[in-house]
Structure 1
Amino acid sequence: MFRHVFVYRFKYLIRDRELVFWTFVFPVILASFFYMAFFNINKDEAFHPINVAVVYGGEEQYDAPFKAVIEDASKGKDKLFNLKDATSQSDAEQWLKKGRIAGYFTSGETVKLTIKDSELEQSIMKSFADQYRSSRLAVQRIAQDHPDSLKEELLKDIGNRGNYVKETAGGNSEPDSMLNYFYALIAMACFYGSFWGMKEVTDIQADISDRAARVNTAPVHKLLAFIAGSAAALVILFTEMLLLLAYLNFALHISFGNRAGLVILTALTGSVLGLSFGALISAIVKKGAGMKVAILTVATMIGSFLSGMMYMDMKYLIARYVPFLAWLNPVNLLTDAFYALYYYDSLSHYVRTMGMMCIFILLFCTGTYLIVRRRKYAGL
């Protein structure tokens, strides 16, 4: 009997084009828009060498040291400048007016910087000039006070800036804040699966629809019909999530780390979580399907917003100022689970989030069972 009801419900549910659209097609379309919006963000942030010119003052004692330093900064793969030697200041001025350079240096006892705009490139040039001046003053002071200390090694290292802060990552993967949008979208898609759970409960509530009335008069236990129907809905929803993951990974090249098995397990857990959430809301709310859909949609979108899908900083604001809310938001938990698999070598955070999601599933399923099993009808 379970198999018969399962097959019947599966055929019935898979023909619901509206639900298939909102639980699968819509997330795929939204993911495509996300990809088009974020595709070039990291590329645009790449640093490009700055076009600069140098006008030498004609005094060798000042020109030679500055020339050596700026030529060194204009070499190699990670060079800071594209250097142009101007034969005169008027040439440099013409290049600056035509936009061929961002600014030019004038060497001398005091290195001068001439710019037209005040943007990032010009700020880097100013920082370079300030560092050269401070290093040169340091050499002069050492030469004056401790001339015996002026060794070749000291002169080479005088301009170096030591970094005494070590940056360590939580795992081998590079941090990528853009991934949070896609992980939150997957979590939203799982919770759109609550529409499937809502449909299963609605179809066994005889006072809601004629189909539910027929189910209640059939020689099948209501709980058996609900479990078989929920299993069919879960198969459909989980298949949709697998197809969504495949689209994100193979078509849009969104990385999920190297733990494919746990990613699939997380998608399955998220599917059960969304399905059970929809079933609970449908069991609690005694109004029609329209009211239930509205409640589920609002709850899902609020959870998605707080997990950073619309505004990424919101997720971190919640974690900083209202941390308990992050643990009470199942959409955020599912988002965190995917990011933990991608970023962290340790599974401790992943296990905590999965454990919390399992608690939510248990609460949702228990609540649905207690409500549905006690509902009786005087007549059908």
Structure 2
Amino acid sequence: MFLRLVIYRIKVLLQNRTLLFWTFAFPVVLGLLFNLAFSGLDDLGSLETTEVGIVSTDEQKTDRFVEVLASIENDGEPVYREKRLTKQEAIAQLADDKIAGYYEITPEDISLSVSQNGIPQTVLKEFLNQYIQRTAEFEALLASGSVQPQDLSEDTFSDTEFVTESHESSNYSIKSFYFFTLVAMAIMYGFMWGLRNANDQQANQSSNGIRLCIMPKNKLMVATANLLASFLLFYLQSMLILAVFRFVYQVDFGDRWLHIFLVYAVASVATLSFGTLVGNVFAKWNFQQKISLGVGVSMAMSFFAGMMGTQTLKHWINVNLPLLGRINLVNLISDSLYQLFYYQSLKPFYQNMVWLTGFAVVFMLLSYYYERKVQYDHL
């Protein structure tokens, strides 16, 4: 009987073309736009040597930064050539397009100024983001006493290692990073199927809910069958989207495929359970209002996860408000994929899996609590 409920539920869900579009077709179309926008960012072959201004009030900090910047090479030739300038000279040369941009280096901060958007400017921005992020990580390691300063200077700020990790697709890919956030957002959209389950399980929300409530079957069995059916359908959708991203859009996800499939599975259960919980908590809202709430939450999570060009904000949150990053489902999913792609150690990945699993369990228990206490005067 349970298997029959699952099969019937899958048939019902397949008839909902609107949700099929938003959870399958929309991510694929958005992925096409991402591919057109970011496909050239990892190709340094199209870059000629470009001059970059350096405005400095901290010579020691500047020397280290310039050494790393000069290590960016294309076929043995430097991609960027630094020019030491005053701020007034840098502003004038930037206005005349004599430099791609200029870095202003002070004891407190490093900032970048550009006058246009192009591949050289984009790479300069990404380089600065990665440099600041890695430097903060190393300062934290030094403060903890887990490494020695000479180890960092030898292993990290060598001529090629840092830049290789920042720009070669085998170690760091700008395109892959943005697709990781897109994948996370697409998985987050699984909340829509969870909302549909909640809507169809409550008698005060739909006619389907009335029929399910008068069935001579345990409500927990019905809810579990609905969750399993939506999981199977959504997971299959997600695998198809992943195949399009990998084989059509040529996105590099690394080679840890079993772990990637695990991310999809755990994250799908978490987002489906989240949608069911939202549907039960806001039972008095109509379905469209709950969809709008879920989309708004998903977009906010995507923004703080760095999807809209907000990598600097994402890094600031990770450093200063790490708990906010931990409770962001989109950030947890995209970080898990990033860690599989970038890090050798799987410890951070498993920590994210524990958080995602915890959220899934909490969402399911709360949904069960809300559904269990629902009573109706009449049907």
2:117 corresponds to 1:119: no
1:288-367 → structure 2 map (5 Å cutoff): 288-313=286-311, 314-367=313-366
Alpha-carbon spacing, 1:175–1:11, altered in 2? closer, same or farther (3 Å): same
2:84 aligned partner: none
Q: Distance in 2 between matches of 1:118 and 1:198?
A: 52
1:267 aligned partner: 264
What is the identity, as a one-letter code, of the residue corresponding to 2:310?
Answer: M
CA displacement at 1:202 relative to structure 2: 1.1
Alpha-carbon spacing, 1:3–1:34, altered in 2? closer, same or farther (3 Å): same
Q: Distance in 2 between matches of 1:121 and 1:359?
A: 47
What is the identity, as a one-letter code, of the residue corresponding to 1:14?
Answer: L
How many equivalent residue pairs?
283
1:258 aligned partner: 255
- Choose from 170, 178, 183 the match for 1:181: 178
Aligned-partner SS, 1:41: coil
Deviation string, structure 1 residues 24-44 (Cα, Å, up to 9, x no partner): 100000011000011122336
CA displacement at 1:204 relative to structure 2: 1.2
Q: Distance in 1 between matches of 2:178 and 2:223?
A: 34
What is the identity, as a one-letter code, of the residue corresponding to 1:187?
Answer: A
1:92 aligned partner: none
Q: Distance in 2 between matches of 1:121 and 1:7?
A: 59
Whether the 8 Å CA contact 2:253–2:341 is kept in 1: the answer is: yes
2:45 corresponds to 1:37: no
Whether the 8 Å CA contact 2:305–2:330 is kept in 1: the answer is: yes
Whether the 8 Å CA contact 1:172–1:343 is kept in 2: the answer is: no
**Sequence identity of aligned pairs in percent?**
31
2:372 aligned partner: 373
CA displacement at 1:366 relative to structure 2: 0.8
Q: Distance in 2 between matches of 1:80 and 1:308?
A: 29
Whether the 8 Å CA contact 2:39–2:175 is kept in 1: the answer is: no
CA displacement at 1:79 relative to structure 2: 4.8
Deviation string, structure 1 residues 112-153 (Cα, Å, up to 9, x no partner): xxxxx6623999xxxxxxxxxxxxxxxxxxxxxxxxxxxxxx
Whether the 8 Å CA contact 1:172–1:345 is kept in 2: the answer is: no
Q: Distance in 1 between matches of 2:22 and 2:231?
A: 15
Q: Distance in 2 between matches of 1:188 and 1:211?
A: 29
CA displacement at 1:320 relative to structure 2: 2.8
1:146-185 → structure 2 map (5 Å cutoff): 165-166=157-158, 167=161, 173-185=170-182
Q: Distance in 2 between matches of 1:311 and 1:320?
A: 18
CA displacement at 1:173 relative to structure 2: 3.4
Q: Distance in 2 between matches of 1:237 and 1:255?
A: 22
Q: Distance in 2 between matches of 1:8 and 1:47?
A: 56
CA displacement at 1:46 relative to structure 2: 4.6
Question: Given the two structures, how large is their TM-score scaled by the length of structure 1?
Answer: 0.69
CA displacement at 1:337 relative to structure 2: 0.4
Deviation string, structure 1 residues 244-267 (Cα, Å, up to 9, x no partner): 111111111111111111111111
Q: Distance in 2 between matches of 1:368 and 1:305?
A: 27
2:244 aligned partner: 247
2:259 corresponds to 1:280: no
10-19 or 281-290: which moved more?
281-290
1:33-182 → structure 2 map (5 Å cutoff): 33-43=33-43, 46-48=46-48, 78-79=76-77, 119-120=98-99, 165-166=157-158, 167=161, 173-182=170-179
Whether the 8 Å CA contact 2:231–2:269 is kept in 1: the answer is: yes
Whether the 8 Å CA contact 2:42–2:174 is kept in 1: the answer is: no
Whether the 8 Å CA contact 2:325–2:331 is kept in 1: the answer is: yes
1:203 aligned partner: 200
Deviation string, structure 1 residues 292-342 (Cα, Å, up to 9, x no partner): 111111111111111111123232232233222111111100110001111
Deviation string, structure 1 residues 208-257 (Cα, Å, up to 9, x no partner): 11111111112222221111111110011000110111111111111111
Whether the 8 Å CA contact 1:180–1:312 is kept in 2: the answer is: no
Whether the 8 Å CA contact 1:192–1:300 is kept in 2: the answer is: yes
Q: Which runs of 5+ in 2 are unaligned?
A: 51-73, 80-95, 103-152
CA displacement at 1:45 relative to structure 2: 7.3
Alpha-carbon spacing, 1:354–1:122, altered in 2? closer, same or farther (3 Å): closer
Q: Which runs of 5+ in 1 are unaligned?
A: 51-75, 82-116, 124-162
Aligned-partner SS, 1:183: helix
Larger radius of gyration: 1
Whether the 8 Å CA contact 1:181–1:312 is kept in 2: the answer is: no
Q: Distance in 1 between matches of 2:97 and 2:292?
A: 51
Q: Distance in 2 between matches of 1:80 and 1:175?
A: 19
Deviation string, structure 1 residues 92-123 (Cα, Å, up to 9, x no partner): xxxxxxxxxxxxxxxxxxxxxxxxx6623999
CA displacement at 1:78 relative to structure 2: 2.9
| Alignment RMSD | 2.8
Q: Distance in 2 between matches of 1:202 and 1:79?
A: 61
